[in-house]
Structure formats: C-alpha cells, structure tokens
Amino acid sequence: MTTEHPWYAAAQLLQPALIRLLDHLRRQLETSGWQGEYETVELPTSEPQVLYWLHLRRGDRHQRVNLWELCYEICFADYTPDLEYAGIHDFQVGEVTADMGLLDAAGEVDWHQLDQKAQRVVAAMFAGLEYPLD
C-alpha cells in the first residue's frame, strides 16, 4: 500500500490503535500504583476535534497524557510523542510515515503486530513515569 498522504494508512490504523491502547492502559493501571481518569475535550476549531486526556495520579505526582500522541506513536514509524501537547497534530505529506509493519500483505490491520506495539508503547510510557528524565 503506497500513498502520498501519511493519513491513508494511518487512518486505517488509528481506531484499532486507540482500542488496543485503551486496553493496555487499563491493564497497566490495574497492576501499577497509578490511578487514571479519562477526560474528553472538544477543541474550539472550525471542524469538530476531540482531544482525549488520561490524567494519572500516584500520591502527589500527576501526569497528563494526550492519548492521540500515544496513538500516533503506535501508528507511525519513528514517532516521538509529546504527551502534554494540548492539541491534535495536522501532519503534512512527508512529515510522518505510517508503520507499514502493522498491516499485512493485503493491507489489512495485523492485529497481533498492532497489539504488540501498543503494549510496548504503554510499557515505555509507564517506565518513563517511574524514571523521569528531569
């Protein structure tokens, strides 16, 4: 599957990535010391856009996570998320590349590969909370 626009392949992956992301976040929250609360925010733009936040708390620590950024990390190859970015990116052609390893030879979602990558992204995000870089 070859396209000129990064969203063609990524659009096919985005909803399944969000589903797998939420499942892995739920599992991680069940076994970690973190508590999470989801927030949905409609952005005041000309076209309706919805931002999904996960607010994590443990003791006096608080971390806000933009769930779209984690989805982008799953859907795109070599994407570094900005977890506190307060918006939804409008990617341009050539700016990002869909992770084609998440699609099978027929161009369908490879659920096993998608699930594995979502699990890795969630584990890395929680590991970053345990050992912050600051």
Q: Kindly report, residue by residue over 34-54, the tens digit of the pLDDT.
A: 999 999 998 887 777 888 999
Q: Residue by residue, what is the 3-state secondary structure of 16-33?
A: HHHHHHHHHHHHHHHHCC
Please tell me the pTM assigned to this model: 0.86
Contact criterion met (CB below 8 Å) for 59 and 129:
no
pLDDT over threshold 70, residue 4: no
Q: What pLDDT, on the 0 to 100 scale, is given for residue 89?
A: 77
Q: What pLDDT, on the 0 to 100 scale, is given for residue 39?
A: 95
pLDDT band at 69 (very low <50, low <70, confident <90, very high): very high
Q: Which helix (H) or strand (E) holds 49?
A: strand 49-58
Question: Kindly report the CA angle at 71 between 69 and 73, in degrees rounded to 5?
Answer: 70
Task: Return the closest-CA partner of residue 20 out of 82, 55, 71.
Answer: 71
Burial classification of residue 13, based on how many CB atoms lie within 10 Å of its CB (0-12 exposed, 13-18 middle, 19 or more buried): buried
72-122 pLDDT, tens digit per residue, is: 999 999 898 988 888 787 776 677 889 999 999 888 999 999 999 999 999
pLDDT over threshold 60, residue 130: yes
Strand partners, 58: 61
Least confident of 14-28, 35-49, 63-77: 35-49
Cα Rg, the chain, nearest whole Å: 15
